[in-house]
Amino acid sequence: MMIPKRGRVLLLIGVMAVLAVASPQGAPYADGVVLVGAGDIASCSSEGDELTANLLDKIDGIVFTAGDTVQDNGTPETWAKCYDPTWGRHKARTRPALGNHEYQRAPNANPYFDYFGEEAAGPRGLGYYSYYAGSWLVLVLNSVLPAHAGTPQYEWAKATLAANPTACTLAIWHHPVYSSGLYGVTRRMNAIWRLMATFGVDVVISGDAHHYERFAPMDGNGRIDRAHGIRQFVVGTGGGYLTPLRDRPFPATEYRQNKFWGVLKMVLGSGGYSWEFINIRGEVMDSGSAPCVNPRQ
């Protein structure tokens, strides 16, 4: 969704909102691997990416991007002038995901692969890959490419999960399956979501909807399933314009806000995880922890 930022900031103020419910308290997995980041990040016409990059300066660990890493377009100039001076200073520890904006004015998102390299960003032209973060398997998928059953990406994800020896798994892709924002919902990853539920994936992180939202664990059809479901985080707060929320949250929504840019910090520990959403003031707006729920345990 392309919306000019500067011209809409004042219009959005009237529709900004925050919704919260009780969050799990404590962080018993503090000794795990840190994963920190957001989606919808770099724009030469916004200061948000610099402000969120300042948060990264103070947080060690693996940096993730949840797509639209460059918010304006995917040209080499945008990477050099908008992303590199801000989040680019953490390039060496970044594991990115592709969004639709990386393809704009950039056939096959080639500048994205040129910038990060295939070792960090996955095979050129595909952009889906996996890595281990401590005891966790992390899958990074490309929600711009087809992902229904029988496609190369779906079959790759299925084979990767089937061979997964870990008890805890996290996936990252750009377009969220569920959101209570006015923008950013797509059905293109529904089959992948159901696949993830079948294999007991614990967490999915997405962007595209320019707000922060945390959900209760959900089953393959989006119904609350606290025993075995996937917890989704929408983190489209990396520095691009913020967008409105619907009047009513999604039934599984536990917390949402669109007043502040910020990053999601997760600690992936043995048997569980904790999270904090940290806004550009350095305030923790949402936090909690949960055990892994992989049914293969």
Number of compact structural domains in the chain = 1
Query: What CATH number should be reported for the domain holding residue 270?
Result: 3.60.21.10
Tell me the one-letter amino acid at 88: G
Each residue of 195-232: pLDDT tens digit? 999 999 999 999 999 999 999 999 999 999 999 999 99
Residue 14 banded pLDDT, cuts 50, 70, 90: very low
Distance CA(72)–CA(79), nearest Å, equals: 10
Q: Please determine, for residue 178, whether its predicted confidence score (pLDDT) is greater than 50.
A: yes
Residue 253 in domain? yes
Residue 167 in domain? yes
- Write down the pLDDT at residue 184: 65
Residue 46 in domain? yes
- Write down the pLDDT at residue 13: 31
Residue 269 in domain? yes
Q: Please determine, for residue 34, whether its predicted confidence score (pLDDT) is greater than 50.
A: yes
Strands 262-269 and 272-279: antiparallel
Average pLDDT of 13-25? 38
Q: Please determine, for residue 48, whether its predicted confidence score (pLDDT) is greater than 70.
A: yes
Which is nearest to 270 in space by CA: 167, 172, 165?
Answer: 167
Distance CA(152)–CA(66), nearest Å, equals: 21
| Full residue range of the structural domain in which residue 191 is found | 6-291
- Write down the pLDDT at residue 3: 40
Rg, Å, the chain Cα set? 17
Residue 222 in domain? yes
Mean pLDDT of the chain: 90
108: left (phi over 0), alpha (psi -120 to 50) or beta: left
Q: What share of the chain is helix, strand, coil (3-state, %, to 5)?
A: 25, 25, 50
Are 78 and 46 spatial neighbours (Cβ–Cβ below 8 Å)?
no
The DSSP line for 50-112 is: HHHHHHHTT--SEEEE-S-SBSS---HHHIIIIITTTGGGGGGGEE----GGGGTTSGGGHHH
Q: Please determine, for residue 62, whether its predicted confidence score (pLDDT) is greater than 70.
A: yes
Helix, strand, or coil (residue 270):
coil
Distance CA(41)–CA(39), nearest Å, equals: 6
Orientation angle between helical segments 152-162 and 190-198, nearest 10 degrees: 10
Residue 297 banded pLDDT, cuts 50, 70, 90: very low
- Write down the pLDDT at residue 23: 37
Q: Please determine, for residue 164, whether its predicted confidence score (pLDDT) is greater than 60.
A: yes
Q: Please determine, for residue 275, whether its predicted confidence score (pLDDT) is greater than 50.
A: yes
Structure tokens belonging to residue 83: 């992303």
Residue 183 banded pLDDT, cuts 50, 70, 90: confident
Residue 221 in domain? yes
- Write down the pLDDT at residue 11: 31
Helix, strand, or coil (residue 11):
helix
% of the chain residues with pLDDT over 90: 83
Residue 297 in domain? no
Q: Please determine, for residue 21, whether its predicted confidence score (pLDDT) is greater than 70.
A: no
The DSSP line for 114-143 is: HHH-HHHH-STTT--EEEEETTEEEEE--T
> Which has more pLDDT, 166 or 250?
250
